[in-house]
Amino acid sequence: MNGISNPMNGTDEESNGIPALLLSEEDNVVTLLSPAERGDEVRILSGGGTLAAADSIPLYHKMALRFISRSETVLKYGVAIGRARQDIPAGAWVHLHNLESFLDEKSSFLDLHTGVDTGRRYE
């Protein structure tokens, strides 16, 4: 079960909800096109359906499209971008706190909100 409601719910493309983009049918995350607050309805533009945001999610950040288990590969653009550090529920914010990035190893040392390096030591 992926947590996405049936897109045939009597609404059309102009329905309310935070718009999100599914970039590839293989993806298990979507990209929010507006910020969302916990409980907001997120409308999947390219894949259809809606999903409630489980967290507050900043503009252009990722949201889990379905449950992603710990160590599972996270896909965006149809490409593996990282691995889940923990179980991630459908609708949750996917970012440095719960994603080990394949794209940039240094991201694991950056503060979630400020981007400040929090632990890399050069000796």
Q: What is the pLDDT of residues 75-110, one digit of tens each?
A: 999 999 999 999 999 999 999 899 998 876 555 566
Total count of domains within the chain = 1
What CATH number is attached to the domain comprising 45? 2.30.130.110
Which burial class, exposed, middle or buried, applies to 84 when counting CB atoms under 10 A from its CB (0-12, 13-18, 19+)?
buried
CA 38 to chain centroid: 13
Q: What is the pLDDT of residues 38-63, one digit of tens each?
A: 999 999 998 789 999 999 999 999 99
In a domain, 119, yes or no: no
Q: In what order do the strands lie in the sheet with 73-76?
A: 73-76, 79-84, 99-101
